[in-house]
Amino acid sequence: MRINKGYWIWGLFSSRETNLLNKIKAKVQSKLKSPVFETHITLGGPYLDIDKTFLNKLKTFGESNSRITLNVDGFDFKQEKFKSFYLSIKNSKHLRELRKNICELNKFDLDNNYFPHISLSYGNHEKKEKKILISKLHEFNIPIKISKIALVEVNEDINLWKILETFDLN
């Protein structure tokens, strides 16, 4: 069962990379209408509750962990609302290690079903539309660095994705 209300940890990117990703996201969303959300990669969660202790752990985590590079596999899609159209990310050793370390701060379901991706559009879009869109986009497979982590409040029932705190990675 999907938990649609809670708190998640997202990976965020440098302003240069975010600008690049946002330009691509704008092109995608001009064809595939979507709720508004920040460009990110989900790293952990959900958490039903958070407290000051957890926020302090996240701050310390940011200070003691390095930025990591994500390897992009290109554009892809699924017939799922929150994986409707995205950049596929390789599940590298560094990404798995980062997630494991985040999980140790405050446990979440660190299952084997993790599907790393950077969403470009949420929604229930036609498969044909998405295939046409991929054929019109320039190939994108340059590495992207996670430079921050963020604590995010999510309520998918009302399309809420609110960044509460961000923490720089070294």
* Measured CA distances, 23 to 16, 111, 120 (Å): 11, 32, 10
What's the pLDDT tens digit per position in 49-107? Answer: 999 999 999 999 999 999 999 999 999 999 999 999 999 999 999 999 999 999 999 88
In angstroms, the CA 117 to CA 96 distance is 13
Q: pTM, whole model, 2 decimals? A: 0.94
Residues 58 and 38: beta-carbon distance below 8 Å: no
- Does domain 5-168 bear CATH number 3.90.1140.10? yes
- Domain residue spans of the chain: 5-168
